[in-house]
Amino acid sequence: MNRMFVAVVPPESVIEDLDEFLSVRRDAASFRWSSPDQLHLTLAFAEHVPDRSLDEAIERLETAAGRRTPFTLTITGGGAFPNVVEGKVLYAGVETDASEELDRVAAGARNALVKAGVEVDGGRFRPHLTVARTGVPVELSNWVRLLDAYRGPSWTVSSFALVRSRLGGGPRKRPVYEVIAEFPFG
């Protein structure tokens, strides 16, 4: 069994810009901050991907990506899950002039996994990049306001990746991410 997700992975320059914005502020809170190399926009998440389904999932994801067209994305603003008053996850938001295309990319990734026999975690697609976790519910409105002042560089999204996630395998028991395959858009 594999724990996996399909994601848009921003280019290094975009991650560096966000990391620079956050780095001078991280000491102000004892959150579990996401490492820059783990920042991504999840399109679909699957807790258990059977080995027997992996090849078909890859084929179907390749087909789904081939049906999509590149679009521009910008990391900007922020929010908290489940809400800012009792937040456990602090995230950076995204903006695009092609929100319908982004929704179609996410739906295509989810459908590809489901058709390959993979159970995909439910929930509405809410595009974001998790920047920190709190462990316990805390007031995050000041942090969300801070992120609302952030606007990173734009980039062209022209692919998504299938990523394996091994829990607790990294430093300080963080997950380790391994890109299994990258799928260019048509």
Query: Would you name the residues annotated as active-site residues?
Result: 40, 128
As a whole number of angstroms, the distance between CA 18 and CA 42 comes to 17
As a whole number of angstroms, the distance between CA 137 and CA 165 comes to 25
Cβ proximity of 76 and 150 under 8 Å = yes
Nearest alpha carbon to residue 75 among 138, 16, 4, 153: 153
Collapse the DSSP code of 37 into the 3-class scheme (helix H, G, I; strand E, B; otherwise coil) and give the result: helix
As a whole number of angstroms, the distance between CA 29 and CA 56 comes to 43
As a whole number of angstroms, the distance between CA 140 and CA 43 comes to 24
Nearest alpha carbon to residue 117 among 182, 47, 52: 52
